[in-house]
Structure 1
């Protein structure tokens, strides 16, 4: 099987290479190959996720949008993007293209490729992804979206993911101290003495994983939250 990967160079030019040529290339930092366009008769939705770092990630389904939210919440993911690689394959006179949902980089510099469910029953797309990943040094992951209670909780916290809700070091430490033992989110923020911005700061710390809660329960202003182990380890 012949596979060529289309992506953008560091200079922004569209180029092609064999999968092995992309080993170590930070494609998740590159601009998308194209932006999806709305057109008459389009069945999929057209929307975007703006990550906590301000990166615009295009999505073409609610499942992909929710999956982007989950990746943005994941503390192990430092960068991710959609539409940055296309895998063009040819086999026995047949041709096709596979486009992963996302490419992401972890804190320990692993490159993850999140795959859409395959559209063919013959397993060709899965084979293309597997061979490309083996040669490029990628790890394949299924596309996962939060469900039920976790989905609604993340949606609540996501409203406060932007940098405008980030507390300075002093305010952050005050809130981590307040929530050293479990307290209702809104009441704990009010008790911090940080004024009207305190609740937004606290929600942002939840989104950043420095405050946590019982994930099996809905996240509400009255929900008990507490300083996470990750935040405690960072203070040590």
Structure 2
């Protein structure tokens, strides 16, 4: 049985909503959500391009996701930070940007919406993510998000609205993301760090027990990114005195 072929509580929402997407082979497809909900949208190509032009107010680009080992597009720094946070989440195994376009009739007019991200969790659950700072969610946007949440519930997905990340978590996440690539993992340094931080220690002090601090820190930050080591990322920027400990929640 396909690992995504779970029983979904189909409803009228799913039957009436059309989904347009580019599958993993780049083939354009169209169908009802009730029929397409179990497609691997985390492998889909973006349904629209990420425009870049002189003078534009938003910043577009691509973020390399360590989770899916793929390029994930973004249309603002807020979306980029959201992609980083998803990539950092140990429950996430894959993600794709602009995964599909949904279209529906709201009783007065045709509507359509392209979510920002589709995420696949470790347990097989699909998650649709829309990114918008809370202060920019007007009445129309709130209606679209609410509708998207209802159709996600109808097919057994989750829906998340993500706004600006709080500081200093955002600062720490951006820093650790620099060390997300597997090339930052070096043995036996990683194993020595696991042994040293079996008991909580300040970040620099623990690194210096293993060897030259400048050589050890990239591996230490990589282990923090992979959740093999843990630190509080919400209270203050990472520094010499940040307490680090072995996590036991690591992922390869």
Same fold by TM-score greater than 0.5:
yes
C-alpha separation in 2, matches of 1:122 and 1:150: 26
Deviates more, 1:26-35 or 1:64-73: 26-35
Q: CA deviation at 1:55?
A: 1.7
1:172 aligned partner: 190
Find the partner of 2:115 among 96, 100, 119: 100
Deviates more, 1:120-129 or 1:108-117: 120-129
Q: CA deviation at 1:22?
A: 2.1
Deviates more, 1:130-139 or 1:159-168: 130-139
Runs in 1 of length 4+ with deviation above 6 angstroms?
A: none
1:15 aligns with 2:29: yes
Q: CA deviation at 1:59?
A: 0.9
Find the partner of 2:221 among 192, 197, 203: 203
Distance 1:62 1:137, change over 3 A: same
Residue-pair matches, total? 231
1:190-212 deviation digits (Å, cap 9, x = unpaired): 32147864211111001111111
> Superposed, which structure 2 residues align to 1:34-183 within 5 Å?
34-39=48-53, 42-53=56-67, 54-92=69-107, 94-117=109-132, 120-121=139-140, 124-168=143-187, 170-183=188-201
Name the SS of the counterpart of 1:50 in structure 2: strand
TM-score (normalizing by structure 1): 0.86
Name the SS of the counterpart of 1:121 in structure 2: helix
TM-score (normalizing by structure 2): 0.81
2:43 aligned partner: 29
Deviates more, 1:94-103 or 1:213-222: 213-222
Distance 1:189 1:116, change over 3 A: closer
Q: CA deviation at 1:222?
A: 4.0
Find the partner of 1:187 among 205, 216, 223: 205
After superposition, the CA RMSD in angstroms is 2.5
2:5 aligned partner: none
Deviates more, 1:45-54 or 1:99-108: 45-54
Contiguous gaps of at least 5 residues in structure 2: 1-12
Contiguous gaps of at least 5 residues in structure 1: none
